[in-house]
Amino acid sequence: MKPTSAPRNTPRTYRVKSFGCQMNVYDGERMAELLAEQGIAPAPEGEEADLVVLNTCHIREKAAEKVYSDIGRLVKAGKAAGREPMIAVAGCVAQAEGEEIMARAPAVSMVVGPQAYHRLPEMLGRAVAGERATDTEMPPIAKFDALPARRKIGPTAFLTVQEGCDKFCTYCVVPYTRGAEISRPFKDLVAEAQKLVEAGAKEITLLGQNVNAWSGEDDKGGAQGLAGLIRALAAIDGLARIRYTTSHPADMDDAMIAAHGEVDKLMPYLHLPVQSGNDRVLKAMNRSHTAESYLRLLERFREARPDIALSGDFIVGFPGETEAEFEDTLQIVDDVRYAQAFSFKYSPRPGTPAASMDGQIAREVMDERLQRLQAALNRDQLAFNEASVGKTCEVLVERRGKHEGQWLGKSPWLQSVFIESQAGIGDIVPVTLAEAGPNSLKGIALAQG
């Protein structure tokens, strides 16, 4: 028998709350577009929505607990306001723990996995009829085919080109929640990018859990990798910038390195996670590279594009990591001098091999290692920003700053830059970078003529 609750009114307003990675942001936008197509409007700022979609992340600690506390908060606020919202749980926690959520949280009407959210309108119909609906099937391409055309968009947009992961790093839940690697077809991507540009996008960030594993066939039937796709997108008039994330070292090829040297619209920024600087730990993580092979790869990118900004992900406190092994991670940071990076304490994910490995590291040890690592990364980020002072570059304006006449945008190296000028959102303003802080720079707009 299907789980049921009382029939409900069709929601008139929605809010999508996305947590975690950029792909969740993309998925959240697409769910919003689907709901808008059903005639449901975004809830005005500060108002309760009739339908709340919690678009969850499962990558680290306490994700599920956070979902339950968010649900509790929504129910409480709804009771106080005299109208409880309809709640949908989407994203990777929905995929991993859907049945449990249905059992534990009666206030949830819909559980929808990341590969099934195109079916949200149909599930909504069932929820209105009083049925509680779960869909965690994994037909990834069907999802994209079923989504509506892209709507009006800001100057920067995400475009999912690849989804899923076959790498099975031993700490990571993604291969289980997002499924196997799939690439969206070349022509669909060119068409969606075109639509995004028509809708106002100046910059497109290509997304994939292993974005550089993307492969496809161009319109002449030729085999293409991500570099070929980027070259095709670079031909779109009105598109000024292309970025991509996240790459895996094992899937990097000569064509991507060459593209960084040759394609002007491809921004000089590379996010290439290394996770650890120690080969024993890398092996235990099932990463298919060594510290040395990773460094060699970065060297080749620097040869092709000397000003490239490098970024990475790190995990401290992987099971069995010794002090000396952790110091190898500090060493690789010293060697690379990242412009930006993301670092995390290892978090055991249920069902992953590392969660049952011997040698789980004490929380205090992880805290201390993370602090030391972040001190080194912050030092390098500030140094990178300081070394940019005096350079001229273009800033793509994304939003207003706090003060009148102040605008915030991004440099080609993904730094946040404040400028004071007659700019507007979406403008590309030539600036001289004048002052640097750890998280942003000040730019002086150059007279355009």
Query: Does the footprint of ligand SF4 cover residue 209 (CB under 6 A)?
Result: yes
What is the C-alpha separation between 133 and 75, in angstroms, rounded?
Answer: 19
Query: Does the footprint of ligand 5AD cover residue 313 (CB under 6 A)?
Result: yes
Among 349, 411, 417, 418, binds ligand 5AD (CB under 6 A): 349
> What mask of x and - would describe binding to ligand 5AD in positions 26 to 55, judged by CB under 6 A?
------------------------------
Q: What is the 3-state secondary structure (H, E, C) of the chain?
A: CCCECCCCCCCCEEEEEECCCHHHHHHHHHHHHHHHHCCCEECCCCCCCCEEEEEECCCCCCHHHHHHHHHHHHHHHHHHHCCCCEEEEEHHHHHHHHHHHHHHCCCEEEEECCCCHHHHHHHHHHHHCCECEEECCCCHHHHHHHCCCCCCCCCEEEEECEECCCCCCCCCCHHHHCCCCEECCHHHHHHHHHHHHHCCCCEEEEECCCHHHCEEECCCCCEEEHHHHHHHHHCCCCCCEEEEECCCHHHCCHHHHHHHHHCCCECCEEECCCECCCHHHHHHCCCCCCHHHHHHHHHHHHHHCCCCEEEEEEEECCCCCCHHHHHHHHHHHHHHCCCEEEEEECCCCCCCHHHHCCCCCCHHHHHHHHHHHHHHHHHHHHHHHHHHCCCEEEEEEEEECCCCCEEEEECCCCCEEEEECCCCCCCEEEEEEEEECCCEEEEEECCCC
Go through 167-178 and write b for each residue having 16 or more CB atoms within 10 A of its CB, e for each that does not. bebbbbbbbbbb
* 169 labelled binding-site residue: yes
Q: How far is the CB of 313 from ligand SF4 (least distance, A)?
A: 8
Q: How far is the CB of 205 from ligand 5AD (least distance, A)?
A: 15
What is the C-alpha separation between 194 and 237, in angstroms, rounded?
Answer: 9
Question: Nearer to ligand 5AD by C-beta: 183 or 347?
Answer: 347
Among 8, 60, 151, 300, binds ligand 5AD (CB under 6 A): 60
Other beta carbons less than 10 A from residue 404's beta carbon? 7
Among 168, 222, 296, 390, binds ligand SF4 (CB under 6 A): 168
Query: Does the footprint of ligand SF4 cover residue 172 (CB under 6 A)?
Result: yes
Query: Does the footprint of ligand SF4 cover residue 174 (CB under 6 A)?
Result: yes
Q: Considering only CA atoms, which of 383, 393, 435, 397 is closest in space to residue 413?
A: 393
Site for ligand SF4, residues 248 to 277, rule: CB under 6 A: 248
Give the list of residues 6+ apart from residue 63 with CB closer than 8 angstroms, or none: 19, 56, 57, 92, 93
Among 273, 277, 409, 443, binds ligand 5AD (CB under 6 A): 273
Question: Nearer to ligand 5AD by C-beta: 275 or 388?
Answer: 275
The interface region with ligand 5AD, picked from 136-144, 280-288, 343-351, 398-406 by CB under 6 A, is: 343-351
Question: Nearer to ligand SF4 by C-beta: 167 or 195?
Answer: 167
The size of the interface with ligand SF4 (CB under 6 A), counted in residues, is: 10
Q: Select from ligand SF4, ligand 5AD, none the partner in contact with residue 165, using the beta carbon and a kind-dependent cut-off of 5 to 8 Å.
A: ligand SF4
Query: Does the footprint of ligand SF4 cover residue 165 (CB under 6 A)?
Result: yes
Query: Does the footprint of ligand SF4 cover residue 236 (CB under 6 A)?
Result: no
The interface region with ligand SF4, picked from 169-177, 320-328, 408-416, 435-443 by CB under 6 A, is: 169-177
Give the list of residues 6+ apart from residue 79 with CB closer than 8 angstroms, or none: none
Q: Select from ligand 5AD, ligand SF4, none the partner in contact with residue 337, using the beta carbon and a kind-dependent cut-off of 5 to 8 Å.
A: none
Query: Does the footprint of ligand 5AD cover residue 172 (CB under 6 A)?
Result: yes
Q: How far is the CB of 419 from ligand 5AD (least distance, A)?
A: 31
Question: Nearer to ligand SF4 by C-beta: 340 or 415?
Answer: 340
Query: Does the footprint of ligand SF4 cover residue 240 (CB under 6 A)?
Result: no
Q: What angle do CA 133, 140, 163 make, to 5 degrees?
A: 120
Query: Does the footprint of ligand 5AD cover residue 326 (CB under 6 A)?
Result: no
Question: Nearer to ligand 5AD by C-beta: 172 or 257?
Answer: 172
The interface region with ligand 5AD, picked from 3-11, 89-97, 263-271, 339-347 by CB under 6 A, is: 339-347
Query: Does the footprint of ligand 5AD cover residue 17 (CB under 6 A)?
Result: no
* 393 labelled binding-site residue: no
Q: Select from ligand 5AD, ligand SF4, none the partner in contact with residue 349, using the beta carbon and a kind-dependent cut-off of 5 to 8 Å.
A: ligand 5AD
In the complex, the residues that contact ligand SF4 under the rule CB under 6 A are 165, 167-169, 172, 174-175, 209-210, 248
In the complex, the residues that contact ligand 5AD under the rule CB under 6 A are 59-60, 171-172, 273, 275, 313, 315, 344, 346-347, 349
Instruction: Give the residue ranges of the annotated binding site for [4Fe-4S] cluster.
Output: 21, 57, 92, 165, 169, 172
